Amino acid sequence: MSQAQHRSGRTVALLLAAGSGSRFLGGSHKLTADLAGKPVYQWALEAALDADIGPVVLVTGAVELTLNPTTSTSTSITVVHNPQWSTGMAGSLQVGIATARQLGAEAVVVGLADQPLVTVTAWRLLAASPSPIAVATYNDKRGNPVRLHAELWDAIPKSGDEGARSLLRIYPELVEEVSCKGSSSDIDTLEDLTRLSNEIRKHG
């Protein structure tokens, strides 16, 4: 498949927000915890929307996410629930891919809702990659988002807690590393929440 063909298809921004967040010992699910004035997941969702690379598919699971008035009226968002969220990330990715197929997508850019410092530019850079697989890097370390062309969707694991990462190992010759600013640090604990909150305040 040519590079021109990879660029021409419709892209969907796929945001996974289905996990239990069991390591987070706060009074709420980690995705709904306040981070510098808004819920953790809202940072990732707004970045995906603002990137404007295509429709946004938000996959929920363990906790119901209430969209704010601005995002809830956006016609760009499709919220889908994964009833089997407890079986691992692969299942949620499969739910998102199924929705992307329905939307006529030829590629998805996959991000995680507990990574609030992934930038709008990172989403756009990954979407613009001509490679079948593209992965964001931060200071030469691989992170998220990850771009997957439709030709590889059938190779995504059907179960377990590993999603797109397995494809990076299986098809290294198809992978492009895309250098990005920002960070794909995730929030798993209260300490992570405090650390990233301080980082956001520090950088304004």
What is 36-76 written as a DSSP string?
A: TTEEHHHHHHHHHHHHTSS-EEEEE-SS-----HHHHT-TT
First to last CA, the chain: 43
Put simply, whether the predicted model's pTM sits higher than 0.85 gets the answer yes
Q: Reply yes or no on whether the pLDDT at 161 is more than 80.
A: yes
Enter the tokens of residue 120: 């709008």
**Which residues is 109 bridged to in the sheet?**
13, 147
Q: Reply yes or no on whether the pLDDT at 69 is more than 80.
A: no
- The pLDDT value recorded for residue 170 is 94
In this structure, of 20-34, 35-49, 91-105, 109-123, the range with the lowest mean pLDDT score is 20-34
Place of tokens 């001509």: 130
Report yes or no: 62 and 83 within 8 Å, Cβ to Cβ. no
Domains, the chain, ranges and CATH? Answer: 3-203 (3.90.550.10)
| Cα–Cα distance for residue pair 52/60, rounded to 1 Å | 21
- The pLDDT value recorded for residue 1 is 29
Place of tokens 């995680």: 112
What's the mean pLDDT in 17-43? 93
- The pLDDT value recorded for residue 203 is 75
| Cα–Cα distance for residue pair 18/113, rounded to 1 Å | 9
pLDDT tens digits for range 35-65: 999 999 999 999 999 999 999 999 999 999 9
DSSP class of residue 182 equals: B
| Cα–Cα distance for residue pair 64/148, rounded to 1 Å | 27
Q: Reply yes or no on whether the pLDDT at 195 is more than 80.
A: yes
What's the mean pLDDT in 169-177? 96
